[in-house]
Amino acid sequence: MTLAQDAGMEIVDYLLSAEKERREVVKVTEKYPDLTFAEAYVIQEKLLERKEQEGARRMGLKLGLTSKAKQEMMGVHEAIYGYLTDDMLVPEWQPLSTGQLIHPKAEPEMAFFIGEDLQGTGITAEDVLAVTRYVAAAIEVIDSRYLDFKFTLADVIADNCSSARFVVGSKWVSPVGLDLANLGVVMSKNGEVATVGAGAAVLGHPATSVAWAVNKLGEQGKGLRKGQIVLSGALTEAIAFEAGDHISVAVDGLGSVSLSCRE
């Protein structure tokens, strides 16, 4: 990492305090315009280590920029990843307190429950499906700490890819025999359809997205572990919500998942 160590820890403190105090901050690259993706991932790791020191436990991964159209718009050629921790998990029956967040948005996802360790740099979608015990419908709540959700790619990587909360549906299905790429998805807000999409929106196939993450981690000697959950990427664009709103996501073959919001 070419960014000075003290500068990296300054950024970690900056982002963590913004999250804890629920306030928007100016993007990191305003002060460090030359921040690289590699440096941003190091900062992300330091941020997660700090959270672990405070009691959080990593549960898995979430993928971002899994849409080819979004990648082209951002001028990048690959997805990004962040981590899920146990304090981000919201039981479906428990209302989400929007007062704990800054400017949350909801995204429909497919959650992969990993049944066996998986590590390497030549991992395929088939390898991912072979170790996936279940898939389920899920909702990810993203909540960038940056002012007006405006940031560069390096900024969002450092900020753990806007990770905030996630909800997993109660219907867990074996992926065997499922055509995940062609499963349709509908996200509704307060009973009205907000967005529609399909599994193919995620790098052509959700398991391809997960395989990308495993290969990326493999470059660092890391991988997925048995028992982890992976959110493979947003199946449609995100929608904003506030206290009093109700979000639901239905995925063909995987049932539905919902999120109620309170102050």
- CA distances (Å), origin 134, targets 46, 173, 211: 31, 5, 16
Residue 81: HSE in the Cβ half-sphere, 13 Å Cα cutoff: 21
Q: Computed from CA positions of residues 224, 229, 234, 236, in that sequence, does the dihedral angle turn out positive or negative?
A: positive
Does residue 126 carry a pLDDT above 70? yes
In sequence order, the β-bridge partners of residue 2 are none
Does residue 1 carry a pLDDT above 70? no
The arithmetic mean of pLDDT across residues 26-36, rounded, is 95
Domains in the chain (CATH in brackets) are 5-262 (3.90.850.10)
Does residue 113 carry a pLDDT above 80? yes
Where does the chain have alpha helices with state H?
A: 5-21, 37-53, 68-74, 125-131, 153-158, 206-218
In sequence order, the β-bridge partners of residue 240 are 105
Which element (helix H / strand E) includes 261?
Answer: strand 255-262
Q: 6 falls in which pLDDT band (50, 70, 90)?
A: confident
The confidence score (pLDDT) of residue 219 equals 95
* Tokens, residue 116: 């066996």
Q: 196 falls in which pLDDT band (50, 70, 90)?
A: very high
Reduce the DSSP state of residue 105 to 3 states and report it.
Answer: strand
